[in-house]
Amino acid sequence: LKCGRRFSLKSVLMLAIGCLEMLEFVHSNHFVHRNISPKTLLMGLQRESHVVFLGDFSLARRFRNPKNLSHLSFKKNRIQIGAPEFLSLNGQMGLELSRRDDLESLGLVLVYFLQGGLPWEKPPPAANKTEHDLMTEKKLKTSVEELCHGLPFEFTTYLSYCRTLDSAEEPDYGWLK
């Protein structure tokens, strides 16, 4: 790619604000996307070239009842869905995905855009372990501080916040922006 798979900090921050507003809208309509990755983020054309859109809602799921706002049951031992490189730790561990996981996945995408990759992409082969198992191991062993090394501290703060949210907790989108 022309940009070496890396975007400028300014571009990533502008993208982050647009994505957070977009996710807040999706979540306010009682859905979680469950597949945030660079491939699902789309930029507008011409007069809308500054607008980011979210595509591929094939894995989206309602997370709460729109009438009484009660959360649907959260299950364990779920099949992992979405792009594994950008899947949250909860998703990697087989937990039902919620708003916090969409936000964590977005954080991983932003780090990817700044650094040009993630430490657990394409793990080296190992005996008796699948690529999925190796990716999970590496993701679990990589701290947020290590992942965000060399980036502004706000990225560490963002990802740490996402990982401390409870599955049914309302994220503070304004603070995140």
Mean pLDDT of 134-163: 94
- For 77-117, the pLDDT digits (tens) are 666 777 889 999 988 888 889 999 999 999 999 999 999 99
Q: How confident is the model at residue 6 (pLDDT cuts 50, 70, 90)?
A: confident
Residue at token pair 């049914």: 168
The dihedrals phi and psi of 50, each to the nearest 5 degrees, come to -95, 0
Q: How confident is the model at residue 18 (pLDDT cuts 50, 70, 90)?
A: very high
Mean pLDDT of 143-170: 96
Q: Residue 43 pairs with which residues in a beta bridge?
A: 52
Cα diameter, the chain: 52
- For 31-75, the pLDDT digits (tens) are 999 999 999 999 889 998 888 899 999 899 998 888 887 777 766
Q: How confident is the model at residue 164 (pLDDT cuts 50, 70, 90)?
A: very high
What is the pLDDT at residue 128? 73
| Span between the terminal Cα atoms of the chain, in Å | 28
Any idea which of 11-20, 81-90, 167-176 has the lowest mean pLDDT?
Answer: 81-90
**Distance from C-alpha of 16 to C-alpha of 150, rounded to nearest angstrom:** 18
Residue ranges in 3-147 assigned as alpha helix (H): 9-28, 89-92, 99-115, 131-141, 144-147
Model confidence at 4: pLDDT above 90: no
